[in-house]
Structure 1
């Protein structure tokens, strides 16, 4: 092996080196039986973060406009509570929050397709802990989705 090849594999990362050695990783969602592209495929991180930002903005707007006239109080106390309730109620009933719907996303249970209220509560609690949402598997699902048995897909 020459120095260029060794340096190239180091710069491109372990995944590229493994693929070069013949390892087949497949696409995101393949192990779950989901399509590679289009409706039903795994949602990309950018859309997921965008939906979260829309939901946070909506919660902040509700807290500031309807509950309190203090932005600081709305942001620190009421907006997280409103967002928690919004996520549990909407994901547990229709499968998406307003932000997810706006960006074309939906949360599905892997076994039944429909997210039960208890799964929605578990998923939301884990999402609010932040650490589970920052740990992702090979399919792009956060630990909160794995533990709740859910997946976020494009619609």
Structure 2
């Protein structure tokens, strides 16, 4: 016997609760990992080129360029160059807004640079770095 659909009670302001499929985290659950990985590779290649051209391609310099580029672009545009090329955007999880707030962009970037949080994914499709920062990756 099929289960009955769940209906949401109206909110006090008269609106309906958002459906799970419309929330940024639910939207990111179906996001293809290939797009995210492709965006990350593009961003790393750009950071590597800048590091090779100006900073003797030192590994920490490359990481620093990557972190600075990522944080600044997330704070201002809501997406890195790689995200733009792959049609992605990083939204605030609380309200779905773009761009991230400065603290969210910094927390997400630092956690991403630690690598391990980005490799741990929750059931909603968000990496631990997105959970910590209160962000979600979605389609533009």
Q: In which range does the TM-score fall when normalised by the shorter chain?
A: 0.7 to 0.9
Task: State the number of aligned residues.
Answer: 118
Aligned counterpart for 1:103 among listed residues 61, 86, 95: 86
Secondary structure at the aligned position of 1:141 is classed as: coil
Q: TM-score, normalised by structure 1?
A: 0.69
Q: Is the 8 A contact 1:63 1:79 kept in 2?
A: yes
Structure 1 gaps, min length 5: 1-21, 23-29, 69-73
Structure 2 gaps, min length 5: 4-18
Aligned counterpart for 1:82 among listed residues 59, 65, 77: 65
Q: Which residue of structure 2 aligns with residue 33 of structure 1?
A: 22
Q: Is the 8 A contact 1:60 1:75 kept in 2?
A: no
How many Å apart are 1:66 and its aligned residue?
Answer: 2.6
Aligned counterpart for 2:108 among listed residues 120, 123, 140: 123
1:67 matched to 2:55? The reply is yes
Q: Deviations over 1:114-142 (max 9, x none)?
A: 31011000011111111211111112101
Q: CA–CA distance in 1 between the matches of 2:41 and 2:58?
A: 13
Q: Which residue of structure 1 aligns with residue 74 of structure 2?
A: 91
Q: CA distance change for structure 1 residues 67 and 95 in 2, over 3 Å: closer, same or farther?
A: same
Q: CA RMSD in A?
A: 2.1
Runs of 4+ with >6 A deviation = none
Q: TM-score, normalised by structure 2?
A: 0.76
Instruction: Identify, as 1 or 2, the structure richer in helix.
Output: 1
Q: CA–CA distance in 2 between the matches of 1:153 and 1:130?
A: 20
When Rg is computed on C-alpha atoms for both structures, the one with the higher figure is 1
Q: For residues 40-55 of structure 1, what are the structure 2 equivalents within 5 Å?
A: 41-42=27-28, 43-55=31-43
